Structure 1
Amino acid sequence: MKTIIAACSQNLSGSRASLQTALRTLLAVPWPSQRDIGSALQLLAVLQWVLSFLLLGTVTLLVLICLLFTSLWPIPALYLAWIIFDWDTPEKGGRRMPGLRRWTVWKHFRDYFPVKLVKTHDLSPSHNYIIGSHPHGILCVGAFCNFITGSTGFEEMFPGIRPFLTTLAGNFRLPLFREYLMSGGEQPL
């Protein structure tokens, strides 16, 4: 230990002063800069989105199945009753949660890619519009960020227009994942 401390302090004497110098050197770890923290938050925002898509429904389903065989069986039973009662809600427009659309995490998500919404024309809120997004796929970042999150300012640019994003109807059969999708304004196709 004396050798390590002496090597760190550039002093081979091993005195109390060299020990203090070594500790100061070891504890002088540079703090992450604002940019590093911002990059980490952006990465975490994207990671939560991808993991929600990949794991939320499947893991919730497995947990509910496991709970059926424990003393907590009323939890999956109540959720099953809720799903049956609430079966048609996704087709009827779902349940938006404005608070979820305004999460700060979506601003970090937007900045990771970066996604920008450019207004080229005024749209009347008295009409319905179908907006195509290409390229599209399983995880359509641009459409999700612009129409489901409030991070790009869609509601300010086009007041009175409520955007919806469509996805596969099977996604709305997975427990808890369906609530997550509906809360942002997604609907089955």
Structure 2
Amino acid sequence: MIASVDVFELFRAQGLDLLADHADDLPEEYRGYVEDTYRRGAVEVLRDQQMRSEVYDAIQGVFGGYDLLVTPTLACLPVPNGENGLTAGPSDINGVAVNRLIGWCMTYPTNYTGNPAVSVPAGLAEGALPVGLQIIGRRNDDVGVIAAASAMERLRPWRDSYAHCTARRL
């Protein structure tokens, strides 16, 4: 959330106070996270950075023996978009409590570490729900990630499989 606070502060420096002037336009849970971040002390911020380093180190450790890390894009089946702009997923995955906003998104740790990644269509679950495959590469290996995504599309062309999605209401 520190990055979000940085964005709010950048807007504030330009004369636009999003939290004061547009708080009702932000999803309630997200606004709560941002407000909580403003209240955090230095020790809590340091703990967050230590956790980020642990996640980063763990992912980098995988690349000691592998060129790519492949994961599902989501830890659950797709969830409906919220009418208020907030897409909240399940509160637990396989009996483990997760954050309803990001805990089910397998892309979040990769965003956290800065590794290049892409999500490619991997098929349909239950006949109609699109599922994705996330391909993660070593730092600065964007070309390798894009090449792997291209190979996946050649091996499993997906364009026609998702035609029914264009007719669905978002």
What TM-score bracket applies, with the shorter chain setting the length? under 0.3
Higher strand share: 2
- What's the TM-score, normalizing by structure 2? 0.25
How does the TM-score come out when normalised to structure 1?
0.24
Which structure carries more relative contact order (alpha carbon 8 Å, separation 6+)? Answer: 1
